[in-house]
Amino acid sequence: MEERRITLHGHEVTYRTAGDAEPVVVLVHGITGSSATWVDVMPALAEHYTVVAPDLLGHGQSAKPMGDYSLGAHASGVRDLLGALGHERATVVGHSLGGGVAMQMAYQFPERCERLVLVSSGGLGRDVHLLLRAATLPGSEFVLPLITAARIASLGDAVGGLLARIGLRAGPDLEEMWRGFSSLSDVDSRAAFVHTLRTIVDPAGQRVSALDRLYLAEAMPMLLIWGARDPIIPVAHGEAATEAAPGSRLVVFDGVRHFPHRERPGRFLEEVIGFIESTDPADVSEDRWRALLRFGAAGVSPVT
Residue 230 has φ and ψ, to the nearest 5°, of: -60, 115
* 96 carries an active-site annotation: yes
The active-site residue out of 230, 237, 248, 261 is 230
Q: What is the DSSP string of 199-215?
A: HHEETTEE----GGGGG
Give how far the C-alpha of residue 106 lies from the chain's centroid of Cα atoms, to the nearest Å: 13
The active-site residue out of 34, 96, 185, 189 is 96
Torsion of CA 215, 221, 226, 232, to 10 degrees: -50
* 230 carries an active-site annotation: yes
Query: What DSSP character marks residue 9?
Result: T
Those residues whose C-beta lies under 8 Å from the C-beta of residue 158, and which sit 6 or more positions away, are none
Please report how many Cα atoms fall inside a 13 Å half-sphere around the Cα of residue 136, on the Cβ side.
17
- By CB atoms closer than 10 A (0-12, 13-18, 19+), residue 54 is buried
* 258 carries an active-site annotation: yes
Catalytic site residues?
96, 230, 258
